[in-house]
Amino acid sequence: MIQHIHPVWQALLAGLFTWGVTALGAALVFIPHPKAHAKKILDTSLGFAAGVMSAASFWSLLAPAIDIAERSVGQWATLTIAAGFTLGAGFVFAADRLIPTSLLFPATTPRSSAFTSVAPTTTVDVVENPIGPAVSKLEEGKNHSACENVSNRSPADDVATSWRRIFLLVVAITAHNIPEGLAVGIGFGSIGRSETATFQTALNLAIGIGLQNFPEGLAVSMPLSGFGCSKLRAFMYGQMSGLVEPFFAVIGAAVVILVEPILPYGLSFAAGAMMFVVVDDIIPEAHRNGNGKLVSFGAMVGFVVMMSLEVGLG
Span 225-273, pLDDT tens digits: 766 778 888 898 888 878 889 999 999 899 888 877 787 888 888 889 8
Flag whether 22 is in a domain: yes
Whether residue 89 contacts residue 272, with contact meaning beta carbons closer than 8 Å, is answered with yes
Identify whether residues 99 and 142 lie together within a single domain.
no
| Same-domain check for residues 306 and 166 | yes
Tell me what the pLDDT averaged over the chain comes to. 74
Report how far residue 204's alpha carbon sits from residue 306's, in angstroms, rounded to the nearest whole number: 8
With H, G, I as helix, E, B as strand and everything else as coil, classify residue 146.
strand
Dihedral-angle region of residue 52 (phi above 0 means left; psi in -120 to 50 means alpha; beta otherwise): alpha
Assigned domain for 300 exists: yes
Domain final residue pick, 146, 172, 197: 146
Mean pLDDT across the stretch 140-151? 39
- Alpha-carbon distance of 115 to 104, in angstroms, equals 12
Say how far residue 75 (Cα) sits from the centre of its chain: 33
> What is the reported pLDDT for 19?
93
Q: Do 63 and 169 share a structural domain?
A: yes
CB 49 within 8 Å of CB 211:
yes
Do 102 and 116 share a domain, yes or no? no
13 has pLDDT over 90? yes
Q: Is residue 182 part of a domain?
A: yes
151 is a domain residue: no
Q: What is the DSSP letter of 109?
A: S
Residues 129 and 24 in one domain: no
199 has a pLDDT exceeding 80: yes
Burial of 275 (0-12, 13-18, 19+ CB in 10 A): buried
24 phi-psi bin (left φ>0, alpha ψ -120 to 50, beta other): alpha
Local confidence band at 9 (pLDDT 50, 70, 90 cut-offs): very high
Q: Are residues 141 and 163 in the same domain?
A: no
Residue 173 lies in a domain: yes
**How many domains does one find in the chain?**
2
pLDDT at 122 over 50: no
Identify the residue with better confidence: 165 or 280: 280
Is residue 204 within 8 A of residue 310, CB to CB? The reply is: yes
Together in a domain, 245 and 131: no
pLDDT at position 33: 67
Percent of the chain at pLDDT above 70? 71
* 35 & 137 share domain: no
Q: List all residues 6 or more positions away from 281 whose beta carbon is below 8 Å from its beta carbon.
A: 96, 176
CA–CA separation, 234 vs 252, rounded Å?
29
Neighbours of 38 (CB within 10 A): 17
Q: What is the pLDDT of residue 24?
A: 92
The answer to whether residue 228 sits within a structural domain is yes
* Domain interval for residue 138: 111-146
Rounded to an integer, what distance in angstroms lies between the CA atom of residue 216 and that of residue 281? 12
**Residue 117: predicted pLDDT:** 35
Contact 142, 128 (CB under 8 A): no
- 3-state DSSP assignment of residue 217: helix
258 and 231, same structural domain?
yes
Residue 289 domain-assigned? yes
Whether 231 maps to a domain, the answer reads: yes
Statement to judge: residues 238 and 264 lie in one domain: yes
Q: Are residues 50 and 186 in the same domain?
A: yes
